[in-house]
Structure 1
Amino acid sequence: MIKRMAIVLGKPGVDGLGEAVDALREWQYEGAPMQLHPGDVGWFWRFGAEATAAAVRTWSRDGRILAVGMLDGPELLRLTIAPDVRRDEHLARQMVADMIEPERGVLPSGKVNVEAPMDALVQDLLAEEGWNADDPWTPLRRDLTEPVQGPGVRIEVIGPEQAHVRTAIQRSAFDGSSFTDERWHVMASGVAYADARCLVAYDDQGNAVAAVTVWAAGPGKPGLLEPMGVHQDHRGHGYGREITVAGAAMLRELGSSSAIVSTPSSNVGAVATYKSGGFQPRPEVRDLYREA
């Protein structure tokens, strides 16, 4: 009789974050469903390494990480699973048990959401548990096989000395944003930022008008735009398209095979902006949620 190895739920700690990010890099591939990307962890890192470690969960078997989750807020678990075990029943049932029982330290009681690859068995099992599909999101993709025609505005790569420019655009573009200069520096110190760049677009008068952060996952793998925003004083002039194109061009320079992004389907303006930048919509995806 062959004994099945146990699935181990873990918190990686600060020292283990690099291994979790490496696993996420490995699992990115062309044609993959929209899934947790190393850039998602990298963007969360602005809250600090300790906070990021506290938000990450791993599921391992025989020393190999099989799944990585990140609590993007206490009630939302974003996760992905190694491609070869997405339909592994033993793993999926263990993950679902860990998610639905608050004492296991993954999700609290009450209303919670889980974002998982649409082809993962976890999706089916949560639905069997009575979880419902939430509002749709639209993933978009731009192929980077061919060179990207440059944007029509000046673009700068932001380093430590210009962090205040990047953070000011973020706070203007997103109400309630807490992206301070200090948090930029913390984010840039994270392991995922080695494959990332922050870009800012300037208008003819030298005003910083839009920004994006792009995250590569290694050569020949999809790279992520997260986040992109236009300063509220400079909307309606096509700067969203320009910074999106610049982000795609930078990802190609970093070796990415495609550029990907996801936005709520209800945000028709964002969908239109990405489409104008050469991104093609993919089938909608939905989180699953449990009622309180």
Structure 2
Amino acid sequence: MTESLIIARSYAGDEDMALIQQANARWAQMASSLGYIHPGDIAHRLGNGMRKAKMPLTETVQIWEKDGEVVGWVANYQYWHGFELQIHPDYRGSDLHNCMADWGEAQVKAYIENHPSAEPDAKKEIFWDLFEGDEATARLMKERGYKPGDKSFSYATRDLSEPFGHAALPEYFSIRQVTGPEEVEAIIAVHSGAFGSEWTAEQYLKVMEGPGYLAEREWVVVEPLDTFAAFTVTWFDEINKTGLFEPVGTHEKYQRAGLGRALMTHVMYHMRNQGLETAIVWHGNDNPASAGLYAALGFQRRYTIQEMKRELT
């Protein structure tokens, strides 16, 4: 009997977003969440994070399938000169794992060569994140010459069955869900004000129309004059009963007023009422404000994610 072949193909559209999200959820259920980004984070990274990409997802995401089932996928993060590699737990450390890394590196290398830095002495490096404890991926990275980079992140979780306590809003402030695309201007104002980013209405409407995003899962703190003061987008994994906060932000004019804590507390009650069991956040380890907020809300670090880099020769 002939063994089934593993076939690689390009990302084709929104249906494939759902496929790779479902694959990540199944893999996390089969093994553990170690090494896997949340299904919602896939939509966030490939939608929000890639909004200024020069190439479409059909050219930057590759999917590997066996008998019609996704066994791995890679995304080329153009602007960051890095890639995401997610693989079925049965194939970690296999020839397929190595082949997928080849594809990811080749894509990033081609992008770097075709879009040279304005700084002539800039290093040409490829970046790839490593969950500490993912020994198969760590070995593969070592064989390929990767070394720790400057950044690391915490993946923190919070049991939604535990008490939340009370987090009050300032007088006349309120919390509600976004109603839909008609609020896009107010949404991009609070996103930009929180992170110093530059959003256009067209860019955010594309995010809102993308797979996985639901307006009722974007929550805002509204100040007395009806301006959005803080926000969070939440993403649900129904298979593993987890809810991801990504991103969370408070407009610079309203920071240090407890809005983020009140908002997340409110939304965690909602998550629990929707049947979810665990809340998840990511944050940079160079961001003590975020670390302090999440710790105060009862989140505990589960994994450390280390940026790894390899210099091109």
Same fold (TM over 0.5): yes
Aligned alpha-carbon RMSD (Å): 3.1
CA distance in structure 2 between the partners assigned to 1:256 and 1:94 by the alignment? 36
**Alpha-carbon spacing, 1:45–1:204, altered in 2? closer, same or farther (3 Å):** same
Offset at residue 33 of structure 1 (A)? 1.9
Q: Confirm or deny that 1:124 pairs with 2:124.
A: no
Aligned to 1:142: 158
Q: Report the residue type matching 1:277 in the other structure.
A: L
Offset at residue 6 of structure 1 (A)? 4.2
Aligned to 1:9: 8
Q: Which has the larger radius of gyration?
A: 2
Q: Report the residue type matching 1:179 in the other structure.
A: W
Q: Which of 79, 82, 94 in structure 2 is aligned with 1:76?
A: 82
CA distance in structure 2 between the partners assigned to 1:132 and 1:211 by the alignment? 36
Q: Which runs of 5+ in 2 are unaligned?
A: 114-123
**Alpha-carbon spacing, 1:72–1:84, altered in 2? closer, same or farther (3 Å):** same
After superposition, give the CA deviation of every residue in 1:233-253 in whole Å (9 maximum; x if it has no partner): 111112222223234333334
Give the aligned length.
Answer: 288
**Alpha-carbon spacing, 1:52–1:214, altered in 2? closer, same or farther (3 Å):** farther
**Alpha-carbon spacing, 1:269–1:193, altered in 2? closer, same or farther (3 Å):** same
Partner-residue secondary structure (3-state), 1:261:
strand
**Alpha-carbon spacing, 1:277–1:203, altered in 2? closer, same or farther (3 Å):** farther
**Alpha-carbon spacing, 1:70–1:97, altered in 2? closer, same or farther (3 Å):** closer
Partner-residue secondary structure (3-state), 1:227:
strand
Offset at residue 286 of structure 1 (A)? 0.5
Q: Confirm or deny that 1:255 pairs with 2:272.
A: no
Normalization by structure 2: what TM-score? 0.79
CA distance in structure 2 between the partners assigned to 1:248 and 1:67 by the alignment? 31
TM alignment of 1:33-182, pairs within 5 A: 33=34, 35-43=36-44, 44-46=46-48, 47=51, 51-74=56-79, 75-87=81-93, 89-102=94-107, 110-118=124-132, 119=134, 121-134=136-149, 135-146=151-162, 148-149=164-165, 151-153=167-169, 154-160=174-180, 161-175=182-196, 177-182=197-202
Offset at residue 130 of structure 1 (A)? 1.0
Aligned to 2:121: none
Preserved CA contact (<8 Å) 2:177 2:215? no
**Alpha-carbon spacing, 1:53–1:226, altered in 2? closer, same or farther (3 Å):** farther
Offset at residue 79 of structure 1 (A)? 2.8
CA distance in structure 2 between the partners assigned to 1:31 and 1:239 by the alignment? 33
**Alpha-carbon spacing, 1:31–1:22, altered in 2? closer, same or farther (3 Å):** closer
Q: Report the residue type matching 1:127 in the other structure.
A: K
**Alpha-carbon spacing, 1:185–1:18, altered in 2? closer, same or farther (3 Å):** same
Offset at residue 147 of structure 1 (A)? 6.2
TM alignment of 1:174-213, pairs within 5 A: 174-175=195-196, 177-194=197-214, 197-203=217-223, 207-213=227-233
**Alpha-carbon spacing, 1:53–1:288, altered in 2? closer, same or farther (3 Å):** same
Question: After alignment, is 66-75 or 268-277 more displaced?
Answer: 66-75
CA distance in structure 1 between the partners assigned to 2:229 and 2:192 by the alignment? 12
Question: After alignment, is 256-265 or 144-153 more displaced?
Answer: 144-153
Preserved CA contact (<8 Å) 1:24 1:37? yes
Aligned to 2:310: 290
Offset at residue 124 of structure 1 (A)? 1.3
CA distance in structure 2 between the partners assigned to 1:152 and 1:54 by the alignment? 47
Aligned to 1:222: 242
**Alpha-carbon spacing, 1:220–1:108, altered in 2? closer, same or farther (3 Å):** same
Q: Which runs of 5+ in 1 are unaligned?
A: none
**Alpha-carbon spacing, 1:195–1:231, altered in 2? closer, same or farther (3 Å):** closer
Preserved CA contact (<8 Å) 1:150 1:246? no
Q: Report the residue type matching 2:140 in the other structure.
A: L
Q: Quote the sequence identity (%).
A: 22
Offset at residue 285 of structure 1 (A)? 1.7
Aligned to 1:233: 253
Preserved CA contact (<8 Å) 1:92 1:121? no
